[in-house]
Amino acid sequence: MAVKTKPQVGIVMGSDSDWALVRKAAETLDGFGVGAEVRVLSAHRTPDEAAAFARGAARRGLKVIIAAAGGAAHLAGVLAAHTTLPVVGIPVKGGALNGVDALLAMVQMPAGIPVATVTLGSAGPENAALLAVQMLALSQPALAAKLQRHKLTLKKKVKRGNAAVQADLAAGRKG
């Protein structure tokens, strides 16, 4: 990851074992030229440090926090309780319920402590980063233009995929 800009997004994970999954969020932000501050903090094992991270995030220039956790997944909620910044939760698969517990913990936040929650699985970190970029792009026209180009790239990829499937179908009809 080559971004050397001042971090605008905080990425926090409950365990270093989450990094293999969460790295995609940092890489996606990097692709948009958005700097990230990355930390391992636990809602249960380092609650004071997690709260301090959230309380100081805006002062450090962060605009959005992404929080990934599995199991009881209280990290996003704890961070959201200590900041006015938007928090995006990534539920991490694992444990006895394969991530459903993490998903349910994130989508059942009490009134007044919102956490935007993205999908379980490998798409979660990329979507969390893209949601953060969309939030930042509201006040950063250059970033909005990068997002527009990204959407065009996705559109072209789908069109290429459709053309390949149609060609395969046509070839199958000939034989």
Residue 122 belongs to domain with CATH number: 3.40.50.1970
For residue 3, pLDDT over 70 is answered with: no
Residues 124 and 148 in one domain: no
pLDDT tens digits for range 116-156: 999 998 999 999 999 999 999 999 999 999 999 999 999 99
The counts of H helices and E strands in the chain are 6, 5
Residues 129 and 148 in one domain: no
Task: Give the Cα separation of 174 and 36 in Å (integer).
Answer: 52
Residues 153 and 108 in one domain: no
pTM of the model: 0.92
pLDDT tens digits for range 49-101: 999 999 999 999 999 999 999 888 899 999 999 999 999 999 999 888 999 99
The boundaries of the domain holding residue 92 are 7-139
- The answer to whether residues 43 and 53 touch, using CB atoms and an 8 Å cutoff, is no
What average pLDDT is seen over the chain? 94
Q: 140 burial class (0-12, 13-18, 19+ CB within 10 angstroms)?
A: middle
Residues 26 and 79 in one domain: yes
Mean pLDDT of 161-168: 96
Question: Which residues are 66's β-sheet partners?
Answer: 11, 88
Give Cα 44 distance to the centre of its chain.
Answer: 21
Task: Give the Cα separation of 40 and 68 in Å (integer).
Answer: 10
- The answer to whether residues 49 and 41 touch, using CB atoms and an 8 Å cutoff, is yes
Residues 155 and 116 in one domain: no
| Structural domain contains residue 117 | yes
Residues 30 and 105 in one domain: yes
| Structural domain contains residue 95 | yes
Task: Give the Cα separation of 69 and 62 in Å (integer).
Answer: 20
Give Cα 60 distance to the centre of its chain.
Answer: 19
Residues 99 and 171 in one domain: no
Residues 135 and 148 in one domain: no
pLDDT band, residue 112 (cuts 50/70/90): very high
User: How far is residue 101 from each of residues 21, 71, 81, 115, measured CA to CA in Å?
Assistant: 18, 6, 20, 15
| Structural domain contains residue 2 | no
Question: Which residues are 40's β-sheet partners?
Answer: 13
User: How far is residue 157 from each of residues 32, 123, 141, 163, measured CA to CA in Å?
Assistant: 19, 17, 25, 10
For residue 161, pLDDT over 60 is answered with: yes
Give Cα 127 distance to the centre of its chain.
Answer: 5
Number of structural domains (the chain) is: 2
Residues 43 and 66 in one domain: yes
Residues 93 and 39 in one domain: yes
